């Protein structure tokens, strides 16, 4: 036990910020399975991938041996505008819960885009710029990734074309305007502007869209446009790599006070914030240096880990992307329109999928009304209005802290607070009005999704 009183907020100096990203794949015995070309059924090569992604990002995507990759100076300078992010000791929440547990959260919502996604957006935009490209295309669900990418592109002077899931486009007009202010073009998806969008619209007229569908449109747009590449805000290895800044900062801050986490918790949509948060800890676990309990939290209505299959699948509804081996509900799975838009993806990061498959982490599915109860409780004592996605992690952190109250154990619980909920007030309104419901996901619906899995 450290004698030193731990401050409410543990900040790092600029000097203490990471200069390298950490690539957890280097320490994995069982590497994540390679992306596969759906036509040839062979692993995607550098040359195939570079039509879709920037060269340097393809290198990072395929690199499973280099443990530390230097963060370019320009990216580090950009990080300094909004990082290091604070690691907060949740004294107020602990007291309110009457728990002996020590709760810490890493808050990534302190930038205008409002989430951790900026950590990878700036990296991806930087490499596109380095390559002399004109612009990038992408999808956005709830809007956090599109906003982050728009900010990064606005800063570097790159064009940015965002396909935004139609329900979000309509529910969150203000997010759209933030993106447009940073210079992005925002199109509701599915749209009439791409072949795959037209096809989806004819099959599902009136659909509110999905992430998988917006990805297909953004990829088609990038591959048909000279000087453009596609960028993705989650799922991929390169994104987890960039997000490792979250975990590296967290570890440095905890080490300063001699605190060793017992449980590390994060919400999981495509797995990027959780992958980033746990990476240095998972590295120690893989090297046999330390042990941690790691819990991924997902919505009960989109339970990739807890009810999905570990199989090769498309990352998008239009089936234009390579196949990834991951925990998936099937690319044809259409999640119910819950309010945590950023967690409505049918698949999961191949890296996290492998770690989960190997028993190195756990997963839990939670219902949205329970999630919003946790969000409300947290907001009232810690002050921060959390994003619905982040509140999944809050739910399980509170549940674990309550267990400690029962057992009397003073465990160290660390969770990722990925963003703010300012653009989710429509969801909060539903909750406050008592109109939020939990939709039951039946085995039949799950089977329907599995039926769309490709034969590999």
Contacting positions for ligand PLP (CB under 6 A): 115, 117, 144-145, 234, 267-273, 342-343, 387, 389-390, 418-419
Helix and strand element counts for the chain (H, E): 18, 15
Residue from 330, 347, 353 nearest 445 by CA: 330
Q: What are the angstrom distances between the C-alpha of 82 and each of 78, 107, 112, 148, 399?
A: 8, 11, 9, 12, 31
| Cα–Cα distance for residue pair 341/38, rounded to 1 Å | 28
Which CB, 6 or 281, lies closer to ligand PLP?
281
In the complex, least distance from residue 418 CB atom to ligand PLP, rounded to whole angstroms:
3
Which CB, 116 or 411, lies closer to ligand PLP?
116
In the complex, least distance from residue 450 CB atom to ligand PLP, rounded to whole angstroms:
22
> What 3-state DSSP class applies to 434?
coil
| Cα–Cα distance for residue pair 204/31, rounded to 1 Å | 37
- Position closest to ligand PLP via CB: 419
In the complex, least distance from residue 165 CB atom to ligand PLP, rounded to whole angstroms:
12
In the complex, least distance from residue 99 CB atom to ligand PLP, rounded to whole angstroms:
24
In the complex, least distance from residue 357 CB atom to ligand PLP, rounded to whole angstroms:
17
Which CB, 229 or 344, lies closer to ligand PLP?
344
> How many CA atoms are closer than 13 Å to the CA of 238, on its beta-carbon side?
22
Which CB, 69 or 278, lies closer to ligand PLP?
278
Residue from 425, 424, 379, 420 nearest 113 by CA: 420
- For every residue of 283-340, DSSP letters joined together read HHHHTTS---EEEEEEETTS-HHHH-EEEEEESSTT--SPEEEEEES-TT------S-
| Cα–Cα distance for residue pair 10/95, rounded to 1 Å | 19
In the complex, least distance from residue 183 CB atom to ligand PLP, rounded to whole angstroms:
20
Which CB, 119 or 216, lies closer to ligand PLP?
119
In the complex, least distance from residue 325 CB atom to ligand PLP, rounded to whole angstroms:
18
Which CB, 115 or 187, lies closer to ligand PLP?
115
| Cα–Cα distance for residue pair 444/354, rounded to 1 Å | 26
Which CB, 133 or 393, lies closer to ligand PLP?
393
């Amino acid at each position: 036990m450290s004698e030193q009183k731990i401050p409410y907020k543990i900040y790092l100096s600029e000097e203490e910020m990471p200069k390298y990203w950490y690539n957890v794949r280097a320490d994995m015995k069982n590497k994540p399975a390679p992306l596969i070309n759906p036509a040839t059924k062979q692993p995607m090569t550098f040359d195939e991938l570079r039509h879709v992604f920037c060269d340097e990002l393809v290198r990072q995507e395929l690199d499973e041996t280099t443990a530390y990759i230097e963060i370019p100076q320009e990216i580090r300078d950009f990080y300094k505008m909004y990082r290091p992010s604070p690691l907060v000791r949740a004294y107020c929440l602990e007291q309110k819960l009457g728990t002996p547990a020590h709760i810490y959260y890493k808050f990534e919502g302190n930038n205008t885009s409002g989430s951790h996604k900026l950590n990878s957006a700036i990296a991806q935009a930087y490499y596109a710029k380095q390559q002399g490209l004109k612009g990038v295309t992408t999808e956005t669900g709830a809007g956090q990734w599109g906003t982050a990418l728009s900010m990064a592109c606005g800063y570097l002077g790159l064009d940015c074309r965002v396909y935004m899931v139609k329900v979000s486009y309509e529910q969150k007009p203000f997010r759209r305007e933030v993106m447009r202010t940073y210079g992005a073009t925002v199109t509701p998806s599915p749209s009439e502007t791409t072949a795959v969008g037209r096809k989806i619209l004819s099959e599902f007229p009136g659909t509110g869209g999905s992430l998988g569908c917006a990805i297909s449109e953004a990829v088609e747009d990038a591959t048909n446009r000279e000087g453009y590449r596609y960028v993705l805000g989650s799922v991929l290895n390169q994104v987890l790599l960039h997000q490792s800044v979250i975990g590296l900062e967290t570890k440095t801050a905890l080490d300063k006070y001699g605190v060793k986490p017992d449980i590390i918790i994060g919400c999981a949509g495509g797995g990027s914030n959780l992958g980033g948060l746990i990476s240095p800890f998972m590295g120690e676990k893989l090297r046999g240096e330390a042990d941690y309990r790691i819990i991924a939290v997902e919505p009960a209505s989109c339970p990739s880990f807890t009810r999905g299959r570990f199989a090769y699948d498309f990352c998008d509804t239009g089936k234009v992307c390579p196949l990834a081996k991951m925990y998936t509900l099937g690319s044809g799975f259409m999640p119910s329109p819950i309010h945590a838009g950023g967690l409505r993806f049918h698949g999961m990061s191949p890296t996290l999928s492998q770690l989960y498959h190997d028993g190195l982490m756990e997963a839990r599915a939670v219902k949205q009304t329970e999630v919003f109860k946790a969000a409300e409780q947290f907001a009232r004592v810690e002050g921060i209005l959390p994003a619905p996605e982040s509140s999944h992690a809050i739910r399980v952190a509170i549940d674990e802290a309550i267990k400690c109250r029962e057992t009397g154990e003073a465990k160290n619980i660390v969770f990722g607070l990925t963003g703010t909920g300012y653009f989710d007030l429509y969801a909060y309104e539903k909750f406050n009005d008592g109109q939020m419901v939990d939709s039951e996901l039946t085995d039949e619906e799950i089977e329907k999704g599995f039926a769309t899995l490709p034969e590999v």
